[in-house]
Structures are given as structure tokens and as C-alpha cells.
């Protein structure tokens, strides 16, 4: 097993379940606190360019000038999030990205959306472990207000997730889903 500082983050990004007894687990909280420092600055800014600049630092990637983020915005790590061009992220969204989040071009994300790329096992004896699952939102998708996307889900191209939906399974291209749990409503 690798022992370098990034090993734990790479293992999560690769989908490895992380035991609560992992000797590198403390690095997760350290990274989250460093991200929070930048988030405080970002969430107190009213300048779109400064918000994008701080989000670029958080994600360790270039955020295109066509991206708009209305703060407040919350993210626990940041470096496992990729954001395409012409993406709109509305107020009060939460991204847990240790498992990885990819948002392609022209995606609309409404207020209070949660993208949760990490969870915990059902078995009580393993509950403190972390189970990552990459979230992928494809081009031109629209995620409605207060929707929750769970680990391992892909939202298809042009798909719509209705407000308040909890999505636990992949959503095909050109479809609308809604409900708890989210179910197929119709094709577009």
C-alpha cells in the first residue's frame, strides 16, 4: 500500500472503500478544513470572477469564465470535482466529492441540490467506513431544486431530474425522472 500523502485520495477516487481505521483517514479532515478556508472567502464574495478564481483553487482546475456559481456553496474536498463550460450552480448547493463528481458542459443545477459521491456501508460494524461512488452529470442535464444525487449515479445527456427527487440509479439520456426514489416519468 502506498504511504504518500495523496494515496488516500487516489484510493477513494478509484472507488476503494476506506476503513475508519485507515492510518491516513485524518488527512480527509485536514483537507476539508483547508477547503473550508477557501469556501469562507468564496461564500463572502459578490464578484463572479473572484468566486470562479476561488473555486479554481478549491478544485485545483481552471473554472471557465462561462461558469456561474451563486453562493453560498458547500464542498468538502474539491479536488475530485470537474466542472465543464457554461455550467450554472444556484444557491445553497452541497457537493461531497471524495468519490468524484464530473459535471459536463451546459448543466443547470438548481438551488439546494446535493451531489453526494460518498456514503457508508449498511452493516453497523462497518458503518464508519467511507464508500465512494463517482457521480457523472452529462451535457445539458438539468437538476431540479432540492434534488439529491447519490453515489455512483450517472445523469444522462439532456436528462431532467425533478425538484425534490432522490436519484439512486442511473438516469438515461433524454429522460425525466422524479420522486423518492426517483423513477422514470417520460422521455424528452
- Which residues participate in catalysis according to the annotation? 120
Q: Cβ(25)–Cβ(8) under 8 Å?
A: yes
Question: Which residue spans within the chain are E strands per DSSP?
Answer: 68-69, 73-75, 81-83, 88-89, 93-96, 101-103, 108-109, 114-116, 118-119, 131-132, 135-137, 142-143, 148-149, 154-155, 160-161, 166-167, 175-178, 183-187
Question: How many CB atoms are closer than 10 A to CB 155?
Answer: 28
Q: Taking the mean position of all CA atoms in its chain, how far away is CA 26?
A: 21
Cβ-proximal residues to 150 (8 Å cutoff; 6+ apart), any chain: 116, 119, 133, 166, 167, 168
Amino acid at each position: 500500500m502506498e504511504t504518500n500523502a495523496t494515496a488516500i485520495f487516489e484510493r477513494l477516487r478509484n472507488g476503494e472503500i476506506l476503513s475508519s481505521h485507515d492510518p491516513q483517514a485524518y488527512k480527509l479532515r485536514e483537507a476539508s478544513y483547508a477547503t473550508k478556508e477557501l469556501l469562507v472567502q468564496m461564500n463572502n464574495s459578490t464578484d463572479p470572477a473572484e468566486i470562479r478564481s476561488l473555486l479554481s483553487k478549491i478544485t485545483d482546475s481552471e473554472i471557465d469564465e462561462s461558469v456561474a456559481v451563486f453562493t453560498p456553496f458547500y464542498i468538502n474536498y474539491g479536488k475530485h470535482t470537474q466542472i465543464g463550460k457554461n455550467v450554472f450552480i444556484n444557491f445553497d448547493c452541497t457537493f461531497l466529492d471524495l468519490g468524484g463528481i464530473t459535471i459536463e458542459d451546459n448543466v443547470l443545477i438548481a438551488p439546494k441540490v446535493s451531489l453526494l459521491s460518498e456514503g457508508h456501508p449498511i452493516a453497523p460494524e462497518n458503518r464508519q467506513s467511507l464508500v465512494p461512488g463517482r457521480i457523472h452529470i452529462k451535457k445539458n442535464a438539468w437538476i431540479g431544486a432540492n434534488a439529491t444525487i447519490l453515489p455512483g449515479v450517472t445523469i444522462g445527456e439532456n436528462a431532467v431530474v425533478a425538484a425534490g427527487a432522490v436519484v439512486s440509479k442511473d438516469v438515461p439520456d433524454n429522460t425525466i425522472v422524479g420522486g423518492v426514489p426517483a423513477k422514470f416519468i417520460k422521455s424528452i
